[in-house]
Chain A
Amino acid sequence: MNTYRYPKSRELFARAAKVIPGGVYGHLGPAESCFIPVEAFPMFGDRAEGAHFWDVDGNRFIDYMCAYGPNILGYNDPEVDAAALAALKKGNCTTSPPSLLIDFAEEMVDTVAMADWAFFAKNGGDATSFALMIARAATGRDKAILVKGGYHGVAPWTQKKGQPGITNADVSNNLYVDWNDIAAVERLVSEHRGQIAVFMATPYSHPVFTDSELPKPGYWAAIRKICDDNGIVLAIDDVRCGFRLDMAGSDHYFGFKADLMCFCKAIANGYNVSAVCGIDALKDAASSIMYTGSYWLSAMPLAAGLACVRKMRRIDAARVTQSIGKELTEGLVVAGKAHGFDLRVSGVPSMWYMRIADDDSLLLHQEWVAECVMRGVYFTNHHNLFINTAISKEDIALSLEVADEAFAIVRGRHPKA
C-alpha cells in the first residue's frame, strides 16, 4: 500500500506559522491533536464528501474524527445543505429573527425527552456556560460540582487553576469528584450544604488519554436523587455524545432525566449552532439572563439544525452510528490480536476510544495510528473517535485492511513488544 506525503500541507503550515499563533491553534492543530509524528498527518483539508475528506495534497481519508463530532450524516449532506442554502438565500443574520427559531425549538422539544424548551447559541462552550448561569440564577448559589477529566469547553471556569490565562477566581467555585464516585458527591454536598448550584457532567466519562468509562449501575439514579434532595440542578453536557447515543438525549439512554442538556457537534451536521434544552421549572431562570451573540439567531444554521435533527430522527442516527462503530471496532480488535497487540476499545461504539495497551507510554499506539493515517484512514491518537452515518461497508473493509497492514509494520519494528 502506498503511503501519503504532504508537501502542500507543510508549505501552508509554514505560511500559517508566520501570521497565526501556533500555526493552526486548538483541537484541529498539530499540538492539541497530537500529530505524532507530525510528518504523518495532513495539516489542511481541501474538500469533503460523505465519509471522506481530501487534504490539500489530494490525499483521500476515511474520516473517523468527523471534524471532532459535527459530521454525523456525512459531509455535504444534500438535505441539510439544501435547507441551509435556502435559508441563506432568503436572508441570514437579519434584524428580526427568522421563524425558523420556533420551528427548531419545537423540533428539539419533540426530540429530546427531557426538554420543555430550547435556547440556541453557537458553540458547545456557549451552552455549558449558559447552563451554569441558569443553575446559579435559579438557585442563588455559586458552586458547581464537576467530574475530574470532564471537558466542558474552554471558558475560564472550565479550565484548571495554574493554567496560562486562568486566575484562581475563575475556578474558585468549582468542586471536583472522580467519575462514578457517588460517595464523593455526597461528601461535597454535605460539606457545602446550600452552596452548590449545579452538578455538571458528560453522560459517561470520555476524557482524552484514558479509557472511556460508562456509568456504573445506579450511578445516575443516585446523582439524580442527591440533586433532588439538595436543590441542585443536574446539567448534562451532551455536546459530544448528543445524538450518537440516543436521539432522545443521553440522559434518556442511561435511564434518568436531566434538568438541563447541552447540545452542539452533531446537532447541525457542521453548521454552527448549539442548544440548551431545559425543564419548565428552569425556563424563568433562563429568560432572566442576558445571554446572546451577534450570529446566534442567524437563519442558515438554524435551518441546517432543523433539517439535521429531522433526518437524524428519521434514520435513527444514534442506532446507525453505533452499529457501524461496533462492526469497525470489533474488526480492529481482531486485526490487532492477529499481530499480538492488545487493542482496547471503550465507550459507546459510535464515539469509541481505543489504545494499544501493550506499553504504558502509548508509543506503539502512536506508531500504529500514524501508519493508518498515512494510508488514508484518519484516526487521532488520544481522543475518542467518531462515526457518521455515511460510512459504508467498503469504507470499513478498507479501514480494516489498512489497520492490519499498520499493525504488521509496527510488529515488524517491535518484534518483542
Chain B
Amino acid sequence: MPDPATMANVNLYAVLRNIEDLVTLDEEAGKLIAGRREAIGFSVHGGPRGVLSFDGKGGGSFVRGAAKTSISLWFSGPEHFNSMVAGSGSPIPLKGLTKLSFLTGPFTMLTKRLESYLRPSPEALADPAIFKATTELTLYTAGFALAEVGNADPVGMLNAGRIPDGIIEIGIKDGPAVSLTAKGGCLSAAKGRTGKARASMTFADYQAASGVLGGRRDAMTALGLGEVAMSGFIPMLEHMNKVLGLVPRYLA
C-alpha cells in the first residue's frame, strides 16, 4: 500500500512540478498562463512544500521549499493534498483570495492538460509532437518520483541506502535527461546532464523510453534488445532500478 507521505512528495515534487515544463512543451498550456505572473505556494502540514511560478512571459519554474507567493494553498496533511491531486479534495487558500479564479480556471485546466500528457490516450500518442512531449514529461516524472520514493518509502529507503555515492544519469540518447545524485543513501533529482555521471541508463530513442517508463516493456528485455544501455558503476543502477520498480505504485 503506498505510503501517504511519500505519495504527497511524489505528487508535488514529481507530478505537479511538471507544469514548469508543460507550459513550454504544450502550446495550449502556454496560452493558459499567457501574461499571468503568479507564484502558487503549496504547503502541506507534515509534508512537502514548494512554489510553482509563471513569469508572465510564458515561462514556468518550480522551487522546492518556501519562496515568495501570490497565492498560498495550505493542506492539513499528506492525505488532504493527495485528495486534491486525485480530484476529490480542495485546498485551503491562505493568500491570494482575490485570485481564486486563476486556480479554478487556468490552473485547473493546466492540471488537466498535464494529466492528458501523463496518461495519454492511444489516439493522442499517435501525434508525434504529443508523443515526444509525453515521453519527456514521463521521464522527468519518473526521475523525480524515484528520488522521492527512495527518500521516503520504507522499502525504497532500503534500496536507496544501498546505492553507492555518485551521479546516475537517466536519459534519452541525444535528448532530455535526469541526473540523480546519491549521497549517503539520500537521493536528489535534477533535469539535464552533469557530465560527471558515475553510471548511466540511456534509452536508445523516445520509443524505447516510452516503452520502459510506460510499463509496456520490462527493462531487462529492453537491455537485451539494445533499447536501453547501461554503463558505468552498475551497482548504482542495480539498486536504483529496485527503487524505480516501486514508482508505479505512486503514479497509478
Interface residues of A (CB under 8 A from B): 10, 13-14, 16-17, 21-25, 29-31, 34-39, 43, 160-164, 209, 360-363, 366, 381-382
Contact = CB atoms under 8 A, between A and B. Distances in A.
Nearest to A25: B220
B203 to A, nearest CB: 13
A27 to B, nearest CB: 13
Nearest to A37: B229
A23 B224 contact: yes
29 contacts: A13-B225, A17-B221, A17-B225, A21-B221, A25-B220, A29-B220, A29-B224, A30-B224, A31-B220, A34-B230, A34-B234, A35-B223, A36-B231, A36-B234, A38-B223, A38-B229, A39-B226, A160-B162, A161-B158, A162-B158, A163-B159, A164-B245, A209-B233, A360-B233, A361-B166, A362-B233, A362-B234, A363-B231, A366-B232
Contacts of B229: 36-38
A30 B232 CA distance: 15
Nearest to B165: A360
B224 A164 contact: no
Given A23-B225, A38-B223, 20 more contacts: A10-B226, A13-B224, A21-B221, A31-B220, A31-B223, A31-B224, A35-B224, A36-B229, A38-B224, A38-B229, A162-B242, A163-B159, A164-B242, A360-B233, A361-B232, A362-B232, A362-B233, A363-B231, A363-B232, A382-B234
Interface in B229-246: 229-235, 242, 245
B229 to A, nearest CB: 6
A163 B242 contact: yes
B155 interface: yes
Contacts of A36: 229-231, 234
Contacts of B232: 361-363, 366
Nearest to B161: A162
B235 A14 contact: no
Contacts of B219: 31
Contact of A361 (B155, B199, B245): B199
Contacts of A382: 234
Contacts of B3: none
B220 A209 contact: no
- The residue among A10, A34, A38, A160 with the most chain B CB atoms within 10 A of its own CB is A38
A31 B222 CA distance: 10
A60 to B, nearest CB: 22
A50 to B, nearest CB: 28
Nearest to B198: A361
Contact of A366 (B156, B162, B220, B231): B231
B115 interface: no
Contacts of B205: none
Contact of A209 (B197, B235, B245): B235
B28 interface: no
Contacts of A16: 224
B218 interface: yes
A87 B134 CA distance: 61
B242 A24 contact: no
Contacts of B198: 360-361
A162 B243 CA distance: 9
Contact of A21 (B156, B218, B223): B218
- A-B interface, 6 closest residue pairs, ranked by CB to CB distance from nearest: A162-B158, A22-B220, A23-B224, A361-B232, A30-B224, A31-B220
Interface string B207-225: 0000000000011110111
A209 B229 CA distance: 18
Contacts of B158: 160-162
A364 to B, nearest CB: 11
Contacts of B199: 361
B242 to A, nearest CB: 6
A277 B235 CA distance: 34
A162 B159 contact: yes
A161 B224 CA distance: 27
Given A23-B225, A162-B155, A361 B220 contact: no
Given A37-B229, A38-B226, A43-B224, A209 B242 contact: no
Contact of B224 (A17, A34, A162, A163): A17
B16 to A, nearest CB: 28
Contacts of B225: 13-14, 17, 23
B238 to A, nearest CB: 9
A16 B224 CA distance: 10
Nearest to A36: B231
- The residue among B155, B159, B220, B232 with the most chain A CB atoms within 10 A of its own CB is B220
Contacts of B226: 10, 37-39
Contacts of B231: 36-37, 361, 363, 366
Nearest to A41: B224
Given A36-B230, A209-B234, A360-B233, A23 B242 contact: no
Nearest to B220: A22
- The residue among B156, B224, B225 with the most chain A CB atoms within 10 A of its own CB is B224
Nearest to B167: A361
A21 B220 contact: yes
A295 to B, nearest CB: 28
Contacts of A17: 221, 224-225
A384 B59 CA distance: 52
A275 B91 CA distance: 65
Contacts of B245: 164
Contacts of A23: 220-221, 224-225
B233 A30 contact: no
B205 to A, nearest CB: 15
A196 to B, nearest CB: 23
Contacts of B234: 34, 36, 209, 362, 381-382
Nearest to B242: A163
